[in-house]
Amino acid sequence: MVDSGRLWRRIFELGEIGRQEVGGVTRLSFTEEERAVKDRVASYMEEANLSVREDAVGNLVGRREGRNPDAPVVLVGSHLDSVYNGGGFDGPLGVLAGVEVAHTLEKAGVETDHPVEVVAFTDEEGARFSFGMIGSRALAGRLTPEDLTHEDENGVSIAEAMRGYGLNPERVGEAARPQGSVAAYVELHIEQGRILENEGLAVGVVTGIAAPVWRDFVLTGGTGHAGTTPMGLRHDPLAAAAEVMGIVEAEAAGTGTSVGTVGRLSLRPGGINIIPGRVEFSLDLRDIDEEVRDRVEERILERAEEVCHRRGVGMETELLQRMAPASCSEMVRGAVEEACRAIGVRPYALASGAAHDAMQLVDLCPMGMAFVASRDGVSHSPDEWSSKEDCEAGAEVLYRVILDLAKGA
C-alpha cells in the first residue's frame, strides 16, 4: 500500500514553492521557483533510494534498477511547472505519485525485471514561452533548434533561459531516448474536468489526448479620439477582434467536440477615451480529431480575414505550436483497467481534452494515462482540488500498473 499521508503532505509542501499573494502557485521554466521545486523533489527521490540526475534539457529523473539493468525502462511521471496562479495538483500529483510508487517498491523489497524511472518533465505548460512540453519533446527526440527561439514576454528565448539556468541548448539532443529504450510511459494526472466526479469515480482510464493549435493574432487599425471620430469612419481593431472571438466560439461549438479559447488579450494605447490602434489576442483550439480541429482553424482564419477586410483593419497571425492528438496504447490502457478493478473502481474510459507530456512519447513507446477526479472540474486555478482519498486511489492504481508493466514480483 502506498503511503497516502506522505503523498498528501508532499503535494502541499510543493504548493508552497511559487506561492502567490493573490492565490495559487506560479512556477515557470528555468526560474528560481523551478529550481527550488526540482531540488525538493530530488530529495524525495533520494529518500526512495533512487539514483537522481538531470538530463540536457533539465528533466529530473530518478532511477530504480531492475533485475535486468539493460532492459528497456518503464517511465512514470508528469511535470512540476505551472500556469500563472495555478493549482497545486496539476502535474505534481503525477510526479509525487511516481516517487511514492518507487518508495513503496523499495520498502516492500519488490524486484522488477525492468528498471523504473520517475521523470519530472521541464515546462509542460508553456506558460512562459507560449510553447510547451519542452522536456518531453526533448526526451522523445522531437525538440528542434528552431523551437528554442521562442521568446517570453521580456524577449528572452528558450535557449537564453537555458543558458542562464546552467544548461547548454546546443546539447538538448542528448536528452533524446533511442528507439527501444523505453518499454512504456504512464502518467497519472488530475482530470481537469468533472466527468469522473459526475460518475462518482475516483479514477478513470484515458483513451486518448486531444491536441491544441496555438496562434497569436495582431489586428491593427486607426487610433483616434473616442469623442470626435464618427462610428462610420472608424477602423477599430478591438471591434474586429470582438467579432473574431465570436467566430471562434461559434465555429468550435458547431462541431460538438472542438473547444476554442481566447485566453490572452492586450490593446494599445489603452486609454479610456482612445480608439485602440493595435489589438493582440491568442487562440487555443483543440479537438481529439485532428482533421476536425484543422477544419475549424481554417474556417476561423477565413472568416477573420473577411471581418478585418470589411472593417479596414490589418490582420497578422503567427502559429505558436501545433500538436497532433494521440491515442493511448491498448497495453497501458489494459493495465490501468485491471488496476482499477483490483482496488474496486469500475473501469471508466474517457478522453483527455487537455494536452499532456504523454502525447509527445507516442512514437517512442506505448503510453497511457490514468485520471484522478477533480472537484467541480476546476483546474489552472487556485481552487483546483482533488481529495486525499482520490489521490490515494490514483497512486494505488499507478502502483499496480507499474508492477504489471515492469513485471514486478
Domain boundaries, the chain: 4-209+325-406, 211-322
How confident is the model over 298-319, as a mean pLDDT?
A: 98
pLDDT at position 409 over 60: no
What pLDDT score does 287 carry?
Answer: 94
Q: What is the CATH number of domain 4-209+325-406?
A: 3.40.630.10
Between CA 184 and CA 402 the distance in angstroms is 9
| C-alpha dist (Å) from residue 143 to 75, 169, 270, 295, 352 | 19, 11, 37, 26, 23
C-alpha dihedral over 48, 55, 207, 203, to 10 degrees? 30
Contact 286, 353 (CB under 8 A): yes
Contact 347, 335 (CB under 8 A): no
13-38, pLDDT tens digit by residue? 999 999 999 999 999 999 999 999 99
What pLDDT score does 327 carry?
Answer: 95
Angle (CA) 293 295 298, round 5°: 110
Q: Please report which confidence band the pLDDT of residue 350 belongs to, taking 50, 70 and 90 as the band edges.
A: very high
What pLDDT score does 243 carry?
Answer: 98
| C-alpha dist (Å) from residue 111 to 114, 175, 229, 343, 403 | 9, 27, 77, 22, 9
Q: Which residues, including other chains, have CB under 8 Å from residue 180's CB and lie 6 or more apart? A: 72
The partner residues of 60 in beta bridges, in order of sequence, read 54, 120
Contact 210, 245 (CB under 8 A): no
- Give the dihedral sign, CA 270/274/280/281: positive
| C-alpha dist (Å) from residue 409 to 111, 404, 405 | 6, 9, 11
What pLDDT score does 408 carry?
Answer: 63
232-288, pLDDT tens digit by residue? 999 999 999 999 999 999 999 999 999 999 999 999 999 999 999 999 999 999 999
Asked if the 211-322 domain carries CATH number 3.40.50.12500, the reply is: no
Q: Please report which confidence band the pLDDT of residue 68 belongs to, taking 50, 70 and 90 as the band edges.
A: very high
What pLDDT score does 42 carry?
Answer: 98
Query: First vs last Cα of the chain: how many Å apart?
Result: 15
The pTM of the full predicted model, rounded to 2 decimals, is 0.88
DSSP code per residue over 217-274: EEEE---EETTTS-GGG---HHHHHHHHHHHHHHHHHHHSS-EEE---EEEES--TTE
pLDDT > 70: percent of the chain: 100
What pLDDT score does 307 carry?
Answer: 98
